[in-house]
Structure 1
Amino acid sequence: HSAAGGWCLAWCLSPAAVFGQTGEVHRATQRHKGQPTMHVASAGSWPWQVSLQTTYHFCGGSLINSQWVLTAAHCLASFNGNPSRLTVYLGLQTIQGSNPNSVSRTVARIIVHASYNSETSDNDIALLQLSSAVTFTSYIKPVCLAAAGSTFYSNVSSWVTGWGNTASGVSLPSPGNLMEVQIPVVGNRQCNCNYGVGSITDNMMCAGLAAGGKDSCQGDSGGPMVSKQGGVWVQEGIVSYGFGCAQPNYPGVYTRVSQYQTWINSTSHNKHSNPGQFIKPIRNNVSYIRNPAGCIESLTSVSDYTAILILSKHLVTVERKTPF
């Protein structure tokens, strides 16, 4: 063992490091929100959230522009690149019953990341091209994406949304409202100790409570994990995998969106749609301007810990205590 590897292993062998009897971490094939403290989301509060359905809801996703949806690669394994059975629902509040603000689209293309590894869940990311563009409303809007170089520190408060199980094996009760749960980011070093050194790659990030009780769950896979940065909601993660639902010492594992800016832009850009809108990493001494999608771009230098946002032609100064 190298000195660095030995240090990491020693650091990990704490009460929080729980391994399977064979020395391997138990790994769920799909992300399972645990017995959790979760809440029904208000209609329109997460307007980028989408539901992927065949004859039923099976995964979530997020709208990143008028014609593209971001989701997890493992959600699409059974489709073999054929989108004919797949429908995307946008503006949805409940899985059952009437949804007056919802629209649906079939899928023109499924694009799974070429380096997706189903064994390790590395590069668990995919894009869906909708059959036609959607019109943005109060209930259907794209999310901003964390740009390359973004860092989300431990304990940054984040939100996960979806129509997944309320606990392992426990389906969401009728009418199947969109649910939300607030969880803190867990650093990759700690998360590697929970799941086994090397399990959590730089393409992943984790979130949850050491005590458990709050998590994503089966059926939430592919959905967004977001946090509010500089007054704008930014998607930093995609629900990927975990050990059970809301188990102590097993935070949820998410695909780290900021690692894929180049891939998302090159894949989703065509003459019919703009690529996803990325929030550049916020640094001190930088000001920002909102672009037409509502995301922030670097502009000029200003004083420490402030950012100037131009919102509907009005200048607003926002105090920024923690960069990301």
Structure 2
Amino acid sequence: MFLSGIVCFGVFTICAAAPNQRVTIDAAGCGMRPLLADNGAYEMTATKARIVGGTESVPYTWPSICSFMTDTGYHICGSTLVKNKAGTFYLVTAAHCISQRRASRYLARCGMHGMSAANPDSIILRFRDMVLHPRYSDLTFENDIAIFTLMDQPATNDFIQPACIANQPYYGGEGAIVAGWGTLSYGGEMASTLKQVYKPIKPDSTCAIRYPGEFVASNMMCAGEPQGGVDACQGDSGGPLYTYRDGKWYLTGVVSWGYGCAAPQNPGVYADVYNLQSWINGVIN
């Protein structure tokens, strides 16, 4: 999505917890990658992996990521599976990925690696309902998050797993991984297989300097290298920015917007899942 030079990579009572208080709003057993013996912890040091430029993920080892599609099967954005306290799956993506206000106009393909290759363990999810954040703005991309209720619940297995929902704030310098099937360069071709990139999360003060007047710390976060070169890109919108905490993978950010892809001094911007946690809780629980 393009708007005023911005490239985007791709209702409800709000109550707040005490600052920095850990509140768990999802099911136990989240954040697992069963096909990796160490749950993929080693990838947090794989700093050369990237989407722009292209390093392939180990096939089928991100069981919470899904391709968010039109009902005709055209890839629009990324998305992430989560579970509520009762163990019911929901799908999280970016609000800016939504152009039709009917849940039936979309579907998700999960448990996949290759965009066009056979994925024998993949499934198609259809939706009964969707909720966009009531304060989402398609001008500023504030509160860029949407949640879909599934028509039917999939079985949890090695290929279908929920990410944990961030229950503590990020910190500047914390490592993170973003994954998706987006373009390999600005305006380039879409990835044929799932790619991933390691990116350090930047302090809010740095994000505000890089995007003066546009970065809103109450619901946004940013991540990237000062020299650029690693980033999400078009078609990655709505997908996950994962952090690895206490042996689990957490959905900490939702790919939202940025200027160009992997440009120096222009970190990617994400919806801040921790700061949006109370709204998420109100929708899924």
TM bracket (short chain): 0.7 to 0.9
Note the C-alpha offset of 1:154: 1.6
Q: Which amino acid aligns with 2:64?
A: W
TM-score, with structure 1 as normaliser = 0.70
C-alpha distance in 2 between matches for 1:127 and 1:35: 25
Question: Which residue does 2:62 correspond to in 1?
Answer: 46
- 1:162 matched to 2:140? The reply is no
Question: Which residue does 1:87 correspond to in 2?
Answer: 107
TM-score, with structure 2 as normaliser = 0.79
Secondary structure of residue in 1 paired with 2:242: strand
Q: Which amino acid aligns with 1:71?
A: T
Residues 174-205 of structure 1: CA distance to partner in whole angstroms, max 9, x if unpaired?
xx101111010111111111111453332110
Residues 268-304 of structure 1: CA distance to partner in whole angstroms, max 9, x if unpaired?
12xxxxxxxxxxxxxxxxxxxxxxxxxxxxxxxxxxx
Note the C-alpha offset of 1:34: 8.1
C-alpha distance in 2 between matches for 1:84 and 1:133: 16
Note the C-alpha offset of 1:259: 1.2
Map 1:126-205; keep pairs closer than 5 Å: 126-147=146-167, 150-173=168-191, 176-197=192-213, 199-205=215-221
Query: Are the structure 2 counterparts of residues 198 and 83 from structure 1 closer, same or farther at C-alpha, using a change threshold of 3 Å?
Result: closer
C-alpha distance in 2 between matches for 1:248 and 1:121: 21
Contact 1:67 1:130 in 2 (8 A): yes
Stretches of 4+ aligned residues off by more than 2 angstroms = 32-38, 197-201
Q: Which amino acid aligns with 1:96?
A: S
Larger Rg: 1
Note the C-alpha offset of 1:29: 4.6
Question: Which residue does 1:315 correspond to in 2?
Answer: none
Contact 1:67 1:132 in 2 (8 A): no
Contact 1:60 1:222 in 2 (8 A): yes
Contact 2:50 2:195 in 1 (8 A): no
C-alpha RMSD over aligned residues? 1.9
C-alpha distance in 1 between matches for 2:248 and 2:113: 22
Q: Which amino acid aligns with 1:53?
A: M
Q: Which amino acid aligns with 1:154?
A: G
% identical aligned pairs: 33
C-alpha distance in 1 between matches for 2:185 and 2:7: 16
C-alpha distance in 1 between matches for 2:50 and 2:208: 21
Question: Which residue does 1:28 correspond to in 2?
Answer: 6
Of structures 1 and 2, the one scoring higher in RCO (CA 8 A, sep 6+) is: 2
Contact 1:34 1:166 in 2 (8 A): no
Question: Which residue does 1:71 correspond to in 2?
Answer: 93
C-alpha distance in 2 between matches for 1:26 and 1:190: 22
Q: Which amino acid aligns with 1:134?
A: P
| Runs (5+) with no aligned partner, structure 2 | 11-48
Contact 1:161 1:220 in 2 (8 A): yes
Q: Would you say how many aligned residue pairs link Structure 1 and Structure 2?
A: 239
- 1:217 matched to 2:240? The reply is no
Note the C-alpha offset of 1:36: 3.2
